[in-house]
Chain A
Amino acid sequence: MKKECIAMLLAGGQGSRLYVLTSNVAKPAVPFGGKYRIIDFPLSNCTNAGIDTVGVLTQYKPLELNGYIGSGQPWDLDRSSGGVHILPPYMVEGDKGSWYKGTANAIYQNIGFVDMYDPEYVVILSGDHIYKMNYMKMVDAHKAAGATCTISVLEVPWDEASRFGIMNVDSEDNIVEFQEKPKEPKSNLASMGIYVFTWQKLRQYLIEDEADASSSNDFGKNIIPKMLTAGEKMLAYRFSGYWKDVGTLESLWDANMDMLSRGELDLLDASWPIYSRLPDQPPAFMGREARVEHTVVTQGCDVEGTVFNSVLSDSVVIEEGAEVRYSVLMPGAHVKRGALVQYAILGEHVQVGQDANVGGDPMDYDPDKWGISVLGPGTVIADRETVAPNTMLNCHHEEVRR
């Protein structure tokens, strides 16, 4: 069945900079913003944009992610033609096969899948970002320009430009140079890691790249530079709006706080809904002593204590006399009576014992020593225990260094 455009979502990375939060799940399955997981954003963007065929390339700890995606029904991607497909690496005759060696190799190994739909264009996405984007507008720009490759870019503040892959463009936004994390950036257009390729062209480059033993089979390091050198038409597509890489603990916490402020990232906007899969839970309950301010609360929560500036995912319990400030609580986290949690990320089913103290206010600490505290999924903090700011614990209660 021919499709004009399909999407391939790279979801195999470990997301090692999220440390304990990804010790058991792939990064795209990490909870976000109360009701979501990171992968809900690209999947919902696809379905809202009208892309009904999505290959999800998984590799690292895929169990939870695969279960979460399931038939694709929450995103309306349970189709008889197309729909969502989980694509793990596989063995081939003669014990050949291999893990996905890099982003380009992951697509190379699935040339057969893409060919099944014989698309004109392929959108390459990753499961690392929080944003709302109509990919079809980007495909339209790609088509209109007759490009081989279109890369979406975002204007970033100049002083941050050296942290990104920077695209230098001409007056018509054709990419003339690509610099990975340049010390002295010539432009402030950062790559968002979203590519549109004309499939037949990409297919050819992937085959050549695979034959090159010195290549690390990566889009950013190999495919894009090779296309540039070969003089292919490459377009920068300017995106404006909210976009955040949530690959680090700090940026994940920041993005949650951004969502709270309901500015650029408006999740209640009915014209571009973000879908998610959530177990059926009764509505939240706010007790008689509950004090909740500038906070999101999700179904299944039971709030009897005080919560300021925080994100409560489903089934979170805040007992009476407990206080939570500037924190992100993932599903099932439980903060007991009298405990204080500040500037922290609590993984799924974390328990904080009575009168325990987790994290600290940056005002009270030396900026070099302060940082958000992170408790990995399933960590149990004993009654009256203290977890200092900038500390990270895994489910065995061992400290993990960043």
Chain B
Amino acid sequence: MKGLHGLIFAYEKHLGLRELTERRSPASVPFGGRYRIIDFMLSSMVNAGIDDVGIILQSNYQSLLDHVGSGKDWDLSRKHGGLRLLPPFHMDQCRGDMGYRGRMEALASVASYLEKIRQDHVVLANGDTVINIPLQKVYEAHLRSGADITCVCTTKRDNCPDDATYLMVGEDSAVTSVEFNVKQPAGLRALDIYILSKELLLQLVNDCKRTADYSFRTAVLQRMAAQLKLRAYVWDGYSAKIHTLQEYYDRSMEMMDPAIRRDLFPRERPVYTKEMNVSSTYVDPDGGCVNSVVADGCTIEGTVENSVLFRGVSVAKGAKVSNCILMQNVSVGPEAEISCVIADKNVKITEGCTLVASGRYPMALAKDSEV
């Protein structure tokens, strides 16, 4: 049938995220006060009218499974189609515990799923990117242009990841060459979102299997650039790929910028996440809260500034929190003083404790730890 099918890669590991990915994959790292990073791509897909989404997982995915569940919170718990979680189930590469080396290898391992896709087009995207993109428009542009593969990219040069892919573009947005690992990047930076037909995808997966190729950008984008019609679709809205703790910290602090919040949370494209039943946040007469993003269910009796508070955080009387990211159910004890700290879920900061790090080298506290 006509339409778009979503495939999200959530197998990558980013060691630079250290404590945050000890017990979860980068795609399920909490972000923005009440979300997991994957919520942004999942919601972008759902808001584009995509009914069926597959998430390709490999390891450390228990937290992600717990988060997405049946897909109900994204309206993806359906009788037909809906959300499908795809751990490795076709291990003919016999590579044991080794991670997927690239997207083509990941796709090959779920080949039987790909064959059963109902829609005639597929969008490939990463689960570790914070982005809210109108994929419907990309899809329409793909159909209009008659391209084989549409590559979403940006002209923006800020926050470029080291391993970014750059596209040289000629007339009519046709991609002329594809580069990466270049010292002086030129052209458009790919956002690693691609739309192509199911038929072409199956063929490419098959071809790569025969030649033992695993990388989408070398085996498909670079090698086949001449044979295939590759087109660039420029989208300059907010996007952030988060690979390191420092990037995590910096991108989180950007949430205090109204322009970025407007970009990431437009009214017409809400970001969905797992529902938690918590009451509203309460700010006590002795408490204060400025320039901060605060989710529901928090109790603020101390002072909070320039911080991101997830659901259920409590800041006790006399406590001072500045430039921090406090995830779900973190509690900060009375008279504690913390600055530039990233506290993972359920961290307890005890009475009177002082933790002062620097914005250029934030301190991360692992899930469930007590300080």
Q: Which residues of A contact B (CB under 8 A)?
A: 33-35, 73-74, 260, 262, 267-268, 273-276, 279-299, 311-313
Contact B293 A285, beta carbon cutoff 8 Å: yes
Contact B273 A280, beta carbon cutoff 8 Å: yes
- Nearest chain A residue, comparing its CB with the CB of B308: A283
Interchain nearest-CB distance for B223 vs A (Å) = 41
Interchain nearest-CB distance for A326 vs B (Å) = 13
Residues on B with C-beta less than 8 A from A35 are 279-280, 296
Q: At the interface, yes or no: B113 with Cβ under 8 Å from chain A?
A: no
Contact B283 A295, beta carbon cutoff 8 Å: yes
- In the assembly, what is the distance between CA of A287 and CA of B305, in Å? 10
Most buried by B among A74, A262, A282, A290: A282
Contact B289 A292, beta carbon cutoff 8 Å: yes
Contact A33 B283, beta carbon cutoff 8 Å: no
User: Which B residues, 270 to 314, have Cβ-Cβ distances below 8 Å to chain A?
Assistant: 270-273, 275, 277-285, 287-297, 299, 308-309
Contact B283 A312, beta carbon cutoff 8 Å: no
Q: At the interface, yes or no: B362 with Cβ under 8 Å from chain A?
A: no
Contact A268 B291, beta carbon cutoff 8 Å: no
Interchain nearest-CB distance for B284 vs A (Å) = 7
- In the assembly, what is the distance between CA of A299 and CA of B265, in Å? 12
Contact B271 A280, beta carbon cutoff 8 Å: yes
Which size class do B's interface residues fall under? Answer: 35 or more
Q: At the interface, yes or no: B26 with Cβ under 8 Å from chain A?
A: no
Residues on A with C-beta less than 8 A from B280 are 33-35, 296-298, 311-313
Contact B283 A293, beta carbon cutoff 8 Å: yes
Interchain nearest-CB distance for B269 vs A (Å) = 11
Q: Name A286's contact: one of B277, B278, B285, B294 (CB within 8 Å).
A: B294
Residues on A with C-beta less than 8 A from B264 are 282
User: DSSP majority for the B interface?
Assistant: loop
Interchain nearest-CB distance for B297 vs A (Å) = 7
Contact A283 B294, beta carbon cutoff 8 Å: yes
Q: At the interface, yes or no: B34 with Cβ under 8 Å from chain A?
A: yes
Q: Name A268's contact: one of B265, B273, B287, B299 (CB within 8 Å).
A: B299
Interchain nearest-CB distance for B75 vs A (Å) = 11
Contact A284 B282, beta carbon cutoff 8 Å: no
Residues on A with C-beta less than 8 A from B34 are 282-283, 299
Contact B32 A283, beta carbon cutoff 8 Å: yes
User: Which B residues, 107 to 163, have Cβ-Cβ distances below 8 Å to chain A?
Assistant: none
- Nearest chain A residue, comparing its CB with the CB of B291: A288
Q: Name B282's contact: one of A275, A296, A299 (CB within 8 Å).
A: A296
Most buried by B among A34, A260, A280: A280
Knowing that A268-B299, A280-B271 are A-B contacts, what are 7 other residue pairs whose CB atoms are under 8 Å apart, sorted by A's residue number?
A: A267-B279, A268-B297, A282-B261, A284-B293, A284-B296, A290-B291, A299-B295
- In the assembly, what is the distance between CA of A291 and CA of B55, in Å? 43
Contact B285 A268, beta carbon cutoff 8 Å: no
- In the assembly, what is the distance between CA of A289 and CA of B292, in Å? 11
A268 in contact with B270 given A282-B32, A282-B33, A286-B291 (CB within 8 Å)? no
Residues on A with C-beta less than 8 A from B284 are 293-294
- Nearest chain A residue, comparing its CB with the CB of B294: A284
Most buried by A among B279, B291, B293: B279
Residues on A with C-beta less than 8 A from B32 are 282-283
Contact B279 A33, beta carbon cutoff 8 Å: yes
Residues on B with C-beta less than 8 A from A268 are 278-279, 297, 299
Contact B270 A280, beta carbon cutoff 8 Å: yes
Q: List 14 A-B residue pairs with CB atoms under 8 Å apart, sorted by A's residue number.
A: A33-B280, A34-B280, A268-B279, A268-B297, A280-B270, A280-B273, A281-B270, A282-B264, A283-B308, A284-B295, A285-B292, A288-B290, A293-B288, A311-B280
- In the assembly, what is the distance between CA of A293 and CA of B285, in Å? 4
- Nearest chain B residue, comparing its CB with the CB of A308: B285
- In the assembly, what is the distance between CA of A126 and CA of B280, in Å? 25
Residues on B with C-beta less than 8 A from A293 are 283-285, 287-288
Interchain nearest-CB distance for B36 vs A (Å) = 13
Interchain nearest-CB distance for B132 vs A (Å) = 10
- Nearest chain A residue, comparing its CB with the CB of B272: A280
Q: Mark B302-344, 1 if CB is under 8 A from A, else 0.
A: 0000001100000000000000000000000000000000000
- In the assembly, what is the distance between CA of A360 and CA of B295, in Å? 31
Interchain nearest-CB distance for A105 vs B (Å) = 35
Interchain nearest-CB distance for B274 vs A (Å) = 10
Interchain nearest-CB distance for B226 vs A (Å) = 44
Interchain nearest-CB distance for A369 vs B (Å) = 29
A262 in contact with B287 given A275-B277, A281-B270 (CB within 8 Å)? no
Contact B290 A290, beta carbon cutoff 8 Å: yes
- Nearest chain B residue, comparing its CB with the CB of A300: B265
- In the assembly, what is the distance between CA of A298 and CA of B297, in Å? 9
Residues on B with C-beta less than 8 A from A276 are 277
- Nearest chain A residue, comparing its CB with the CB of B271: A280
Residues on B with C-beta less than 8 A from A279 are 270
Most buried by A among B270, B280, B281, B291: B280
Residues on A with C-beta less than 8 A from B289 are 286, 290, 292
- Nearest chain A residue, comparing its CB with the CB of B292: A286
Residues on A with C-beta less than 8 A from B285 are 293-294
Residues on B with C-beta less than 8 A from A274 are 277, 279
Interchain nearest-CB distance for A91 vs B (Å) = 33
Interchain nearest-CB distance for A52 vs B (Å) = 18
- In the assembly, what is the distance between CA of A280 and CA of B34, in Å? 10
Contact A296 B261, beta carbon cutoff 8 Å: no
Q: Name A299's contact: one of B256, B258, B292, B296 (CB within 8 Å).
A: B296
- In the assembly, what is the distance between CA of A291 and CA of B300, in Å? 13
7 nearest interchain CB pairs? A34-B280, A283-B33, A267-B279, A296-B280, A283-B295, A282-B265, A298-B280
Residues on B with C-beta less than 8 A from A296 are 279-283
- In the assembly, what is the distance between CA of A299 and CA of B285, in Å? 20
A298 in contact with B283 given A290-B289, A290-B290, A292-B289 (CB within 8 Å)? no
Residues on B with C-beta less than 8 A from A290 are 289-291
Most buried by A among B258, B278, B294, B295: B294
Q: Mark B29-55, 1 if CB is under 8 A from A, else 0.
A: 000111000000000000000000000
- In the assembly, what is the distance between CA of A251 and CA of B188, in Å? 61
Residues on A with C-beta less than 8 A from B292 are 285-286
- In the assembly, what is the distance between CA of A285 and CA of B296, in Å? 11
Residues on B with C-beta less than 8 A from A281 are 265, 270
- Nearest chain B residue, comparing its CB with the CB of A78: B72
- Nearest chain B residue, comparing its CB with the CB of A315: B267
Q: Mark B248-270, 1 if CB is under 8 A from A, else 0.
A: 00000000101001001100001
Residues on A with C-beta less than 8 A from B273 are 280
